[in-house]
Every structure is written in structure tokens, then in C-alpha cells.
């Protein structure tokens, strides 16, 4: 979701960074775009060097090999996701004390953010890494798994607060429901790209919101 971070102004300005850090960020930006477009295996160090207009030694000063680049890309992606999710769901907490309404506000804001992306969501590195996990070492694979579980933990914490006041109308495993946020977002990204309909991701998030609202709606009487 790094484009969302850029648009929201959550990332500090480049002027606050040194030349080496700006170069490293530039390498990561170029690499991420290439990986999202054609996969990690098809992205070469040579093309990143060419696009970044640096020497090969300049690249290896920042990353000792392609696997270290993969790790840095993933860490950057996870950090940017955390920034966005914190902003969105913390905003719900600022607006109301009701845990269900907090969650519903957060989902609506998330849908609005992705809908505002001019070219649709660029894709998810976590999903790309899953499809090509044989290319990575154990550390990168574990980091990717931790990222997925991090989303589960975040939304399970939210849902635990919701069920304290709103018992679900149907039996539901809260871990599975927390995972549903990830599956809707990832599935929405795939569908929007496959069909050339960027708005589908926002629509799917809003449908998830409607499902959550119905699941926890208080019954009359």
C-alpha cells in the first residue's frame, strides 16, 4: 500500500534523509515496481541498477545479494501497511467509543483510500512472495508468514472488543473472520487487476463491511 502512504503524507520527506538513504530508498522503489509488475524471479539486479542510475558496487553497498533485497522490500512493505492500517483504524477510535462502529468506520475509510488510487492498487508483495517462495531463503519465507499473521492478530484484537458488546448472530471463528479481511483485500486486488476494474477492491471491502454489520447487528427483542 505504499502509494497510499505517499498520498497520505505519512512518510517523511526525502529532504530529511542523507544521500545514501535516498539512494537505498530509490533502489527499493524501483525494485518494488518491477517485482509487482513481473515477479521477483524476472526482476534482475542489472535492470534495477540501470533504472536507479547507480553502479553495481553502489547496489551491493546497500544489499549484499538479491535475497537481502527481498528481505528489505518485504520489511518496507510491512511497515507501510502498518502505517496505513494504524491511521485508518485509529481514526475510528477517535470518532467513537463503540467498538463495532470503530471497525465499520475503519473498513469504510480503507475502501475510500484504495478507491482514490488513480491507477488502482499496484499489488501486494506478500502475495507475490507466496507465489514464488522457492526463490527465497527461510528467513524471508518466515517474515512473509509473520506478515500474514500480523494482519490476523490486528483484526482479531479488534473483533475481540466487538464481541464483548455485540455477540455474533451466527457461530463464527474469530481467527477465521480476522483472516477474512486479508482474503477480501488480496482477492479484491487480483480481481480488479484481472478484470481491469480498479473499483472492485473498494467494492469488496464495502461488502465485507456489510457482512460484519449484519453479523453483529443486535436483534430486536
Choose among 43, 47, 75, 77: nearest CA to 59.
Answer: 47
Read off the pLDDT of residues 92-122 as tens digits, 9 standing for 90 and up: 999 999 999 999 999 999 999 999 987 788 8
Mean pLDDT over the full length of the chain: 90
Q: What pTM does this model have?
A: 0.85
pLDDT band at 12 (very low <50, low <70, confident <90, very high): very low
CB count in 10 Å sphere of residue 97: 7
Q: What is the mean pLDDT of residues 53-79?
A: 94
pLDDT band at 10 (very low <50, low <70, confident <90, very high): very low
Q: What is the pLDDT of residue 135?
A: 86
What CATH code would you report for 2-215? 1.10.357.10
Q: What is the mean pLDDT of residues 8-22?
A: 62
Q: What is the mean pLDDT of residues 109-137?
A: 88
| Residue pair 103/92 in contact by the 8 Å Cβ criterion | yes
Q: What is the mean pLDDT of residues 182-211?
A: 94
| Residue pair 75/147 in contact by the 8 Å Cβ criterion | no
Q: What is the pLDDT of residue 134?
A: 86
* Separation of alpha carbons 193 and 172, rounded Å: 31
Q: What is the pLDDT of residue 8?
A: 46
Locate the domains of the chain by residue range: 2-215
pLDDT band at 7 (very low <50, low <70, confident <90, very high): very low
Can you give the chain as a three-state secondary structure string?
A: CHHHHHHHCCCCCHHHCCHHHHHHHHHHHHHHHHHHHHCCCCCCHHHHHHHHCCCHHHHHHHCCCHHHHHHHHHHHHHHHHHHHHHHHHHHHHHHCCCHHHHHHHHHHHHHHHHHCCCCCCCCCHHHHHHHCHHHCCHHHHHHHHHHHHHHHHHHHHHHHHHHHHCCCCCCCCHHHHHHHHHHHHHHHHHHHHHHCCCHHHHHHHHHHHHHHHHHCCCCCC
pLDDT higher than 50, residue 152? yes
Q: Which of 3-12, 175-184, 191-200 has the lowest mean pLDDT?
A: 3-12
Phi and psi torsions of 42, nearest 5°: -85, -5
| Residue pair 84/70 in contact by the 8 Å Cβ criterion | no
| Residue pair 129/74 in contact by the 8 Å Cβ criterion | yes
pLDDT higher than 70, residue 30? yes
In the block, cell 517523511 appears at 12
* Separation of alpha carbons 197 and 188, rounded Å: 10
Q: What is the pLDDT of residue 131?
A: 84
Q: What is the pLDDT of residue 11?
A: 44
Q: What is the mean pLDDT of residues 41-62?
A: 94
Amino acid at each position: 500500500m505504499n502509494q497510499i502512504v505517499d498520498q497520505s503524507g505519512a512518510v517523511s520527506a526525502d529532504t530529511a534523509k542523507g544521500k545514501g538513504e535516498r539512494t537505498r530508498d530509490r533502489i527499493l522503489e524501483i525494485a518494488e515496481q518491477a517485482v509487482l509488475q513481473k515477479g521477483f524471479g524476472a526482476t534482475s539486479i542489472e535492470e534495477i541498477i540501470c533504472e536507479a542510475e547507480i553502479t553495481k558496487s553502489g547496489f551491493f553497498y546497500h544489499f549484499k545479494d538479491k535475497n537481502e533485497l527481498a528481505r528489505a522490500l518485504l520489511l518496507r512493505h510491512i511497515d507501510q501497511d502498518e502505517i496505513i492500517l494504524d491511521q485508518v483504524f485509529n481514526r475510528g477510535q477517535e470518532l467513537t467509543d463503540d467498538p463495532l462502529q470503530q471497525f465499520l468506520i475503519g473498513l469504510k475509510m480503507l475502501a475510500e483510500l484504495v478507491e482514490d488510487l488513480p491507477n488502482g492498487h499496484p499489488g501486494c508483495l506478500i502475495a507475490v512472495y507466496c507465489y514464488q517462495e522457492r526463490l527465497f531463503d527461510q528467513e524471508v519465507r518466515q517474515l512473509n508468514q509473520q506478515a500474514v499473521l500480523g494482519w490476523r492478530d490486528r483484526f482479531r484484537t479488534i473483533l475481540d472488543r466487538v464481541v464483548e458488546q455485540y455477540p455474533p448472530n451466527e457461530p463464527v471463528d474469530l481467527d477465521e473472520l480476522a483472516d477474512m479481511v486479508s482474503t477480501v483485500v488480496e482477492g479484491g486486488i487480483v480481481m480488479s487487476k484481472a478484470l481491469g476494474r480498479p473499483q472492485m477492491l473498494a467494492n469488496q471491502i464495502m461488502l465485507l463491511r456489510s457482512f460484519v454489520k449484519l453479523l453483529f447487528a443486535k436483534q430486536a427483542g
